[in-house]
């Protein structure tokens, strides 16, 4: 098995690392402190081709693969997890489903500007009473005699919602059919009747704007339908499979930030006459962090590789997301312990990593849901 990235993949990683170090990292603390959407960094990611990395150039993307995407996501999230998730949503949850399920006309109208960064997207599946249980959708879509659709409902915790131009939206058009009654649409956010709530006040990833989306008598044309009527659940689940690769890479970036910041601090901070990195209690923490991060990275790149080669990857993506998010939280917790009292104050970055890490165990499928997904594949012999 060859673990060496291609020259193309290394070039993407190098570009992402330089951008992250030179432009993102210097602003990360301020973005978090001010709860500010980093519009200037999103614009730069568009210029660098990071908002549609795995989308063909024909549709405005960069034409790279999902391994390149995972490598770039890790680098940018290492600098700022908020900036990383903005990138992840646009790539994984918006561009990818439109590319795979959209019509040619939809790809030209929506995918091209989304992948090139002229527009920014969001993904609206969760609701106040429908998080892990996607089939509990209460947002409705009713087809009218003229072929248009009327939408009503509320969506919750929609990342990029307040700043998005386009939404991949999921509705219930036939409640009696359960998950087979879910239908997806491409929703322009300026459509009459669409309104975003107040941005969520969050524990972490504070520069990533999220909110409720309210749909009041929203009328969409027939060509806004994404995929087939009743095919929304399949679109949502397959999209989340790919999205988990992006969140695993985000978790990797957060974990790496915790390790690198801890190592640098441990080499400078002295107790009992020597740098604390020379104390076994600290050295062992760093060794465990490094080992677990490498293991999580291999799981993540395996899932990306499988997707690139059109092989089943649902179980592997769930494993990567489950493990990487666990590693991120453990690394961030240990980082605070290594920093001691300094880890608990905002002057140092590890408290931000600690707050940012938690969400990776929740969105795009909680850790409990990942275990269900993995167990389901095992039960089927996969």
- Annotated catalytic sites, by residue? 364
Q: Which of 215, 109, 212 is nearest to 171 (CA)?
A: 215
Place of tokens 């990342």: 159
Which pair of tokens denotes residue 370?
Answer: 């990942």
Residue 352 has a CB neighbour count (10 Å cut-off) of 26
Residue 7 has a CB neighbour count (10 Å cut-off) of 7
Query: Contact 199/209 with Cβ under 8 angstroms?
Result: yes
Helix (H) or strand (E) holding 23: none
Query: Contact 372/218 with Cβ under 8 angstroms?
Result: no
Counting beta carbons within 10 angstroms of the beta carbon of residue 123, is it exposed (0 to 12), middle (13 to 18) or buried (19 or more)?
buried
Q: What is the 3-state secondary structure of 251-315?
A: HHHHHHHHHHHHHHHHHHCEECCEEHHHCHHHHHHHHHHHHHHHHHHHHHHHHHHHHHCCCCCHH
Residue 340, CA distances (Å) to 24, 115, 168 in order: 26, 43, 44
Residue 267 has a CB neighbour count (10 Å cut-off) of 12
Q: Which of 214, 289, 212 is nearest to 254 (CA)?
A: 289
Q: What is d(CA 177, CA 62) in angstroms, rounded to the nearest whole number?
A: 39
DSSP secondary structure of 303-368: HHHHHHTT---HHHHHHHHHHHHHHHHHHHHHHHHHHGGGGGSTTSTHHHHHHHHHGGGTTTS-HH
């Amino acid at each position: 098995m060859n673990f060496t990235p291609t020259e193309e993949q290394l070039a993407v990683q190098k570009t992402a690392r330089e951008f992250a170090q030179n432009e993102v990292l210097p602003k990360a603390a301020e973005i978090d402190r001010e709860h500010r959407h980093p519009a200037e960094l999103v614009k730069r990611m568009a210029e660098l081709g990071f908002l549609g990395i795995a989308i063909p150039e024909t549709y405005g993307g960069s034409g790279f693969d999902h391994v390149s995407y995972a490598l770039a996501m890790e680098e940018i999230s290492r600098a700022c997890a908020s900036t990383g998730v903005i990138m992840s949503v646009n790539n994984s949850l918006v561009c990818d489903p439109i590319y795979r399920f959209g019509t040619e006309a939809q790809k030209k109208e929506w995918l091209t500007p989304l992948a090139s960064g002229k527009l920014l997207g969001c993904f609206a599946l969760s609701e106040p009473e429908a998080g892990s249980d996607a089939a509990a959708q209460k947002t409705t879509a009713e087809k009218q005699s003229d072929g248009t659709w009327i939408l009503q409902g509320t969506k919750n915790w929609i990342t990029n919602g307040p700043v998005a131009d386009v939404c991949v939206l999921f509705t219930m058009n036939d409640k009696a059919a359960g998950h087979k009654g879910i239908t997806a649409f491409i929703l322009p956010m300026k459509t009459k009747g669409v309104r975003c709530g107040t941005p969520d006040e969050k524990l972490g990833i504070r520069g990533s704007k999220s909110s409720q989306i309210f749909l009041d008598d929203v009328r969409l044309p027939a060509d806004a339908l994404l995929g087939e009527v009743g095919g929304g659940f399949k679109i949502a689940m397959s999209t989340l499979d790919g999205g988990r690769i992006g969140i695993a890479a985000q978790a990797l970036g957060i974990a790496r930030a915790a390790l690198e910041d801890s190592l640098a601090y441990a080499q400078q901070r002295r107790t009992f006459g020597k740098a604390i990195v020379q104390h076994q209690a600290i050295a062992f923490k760093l060794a465990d962090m490094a080992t677990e991060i490498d293991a999580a990275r291999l799981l993540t790149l395996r899932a990306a590789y499988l997707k690139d080669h059109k092989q089943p990857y649902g179980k592997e993506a769930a494993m990567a997301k489950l493990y990487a998010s666990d590693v991120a939280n453990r690394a961030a917790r240990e980082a605070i312990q290594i920093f001691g009292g300094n880890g608990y104050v905002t002057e140092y970055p590890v408290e931000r990593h600690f707050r940012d890490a938690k969400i990776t165990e929740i969105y795009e499928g909680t850790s409990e849901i990942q275990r269900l997904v993995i167990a389901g594949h095992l039960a089927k012999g996969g």
